[in-house]
Amino acid sequence: MASSCFADHLGDFVALTPTERDAIHRLEERERILRRTGILVRENDRAGELFILKRGMMMSYVLLDDGSRQILRFLFPGDMMGVASIAYALSPETIVALTDCTVCPFECGALAQLMTEHPRLGAAIMVLHQMERVSLTDRLVGLGRTSAKVRVASLLLELRNRMRRFDPEIGSSFVLGLTQEEIGDATGLTAVHVNRMLRQLEDDGLIGRENGRVLFRDEVRLARAANYVDRFEGLDLSWLPAAR
Helix (H, G, I), strand (E, B) or coil at 173: strand
Q: Are 39 and 61 in contact (CB under 8 A)?
A: no
CB of 41 to DNA, least distance (A): 21
169 binds, among DNA, its own copies, none (CB under 5 to 8 A by kind): none
State the residues that interact with its own copies by CB under 8 A. Answer: 48, 62, 64-65, 68-70, 72, 83-84, 86-90, 92-93, 107-109, 111-113, 115-116, 119, 122-123, 125-127, 129-134, 136-137, 139-141, 143-146, 185, 187-188, 227, 229, 231, 234-237, 239-241
String of contacts with DNA for each residue 175-194, x by CB under 7 A: ----xxx--x---xxxxxx-
Q: Phi and psi at residue 220, in whole multiples of 5°?
A: -60, -50
Q: Judged by CB under 7 A, does residue 198 bind DNA?
A: yes
What CA–CA distances, in Å, run from 200 to 180, 219, 237?
14, 16, 40
89 DSSP 8-state letter: S
Helix (H, G, I), strand (E, B) or coil at 102: strand
Region near DNA per CB under 7 A, out of 88-96, 112-120, 142-150, 233-241: 142-150
Q: Judged by CB under 7 A, does residue 25 bind DNA?
A: no
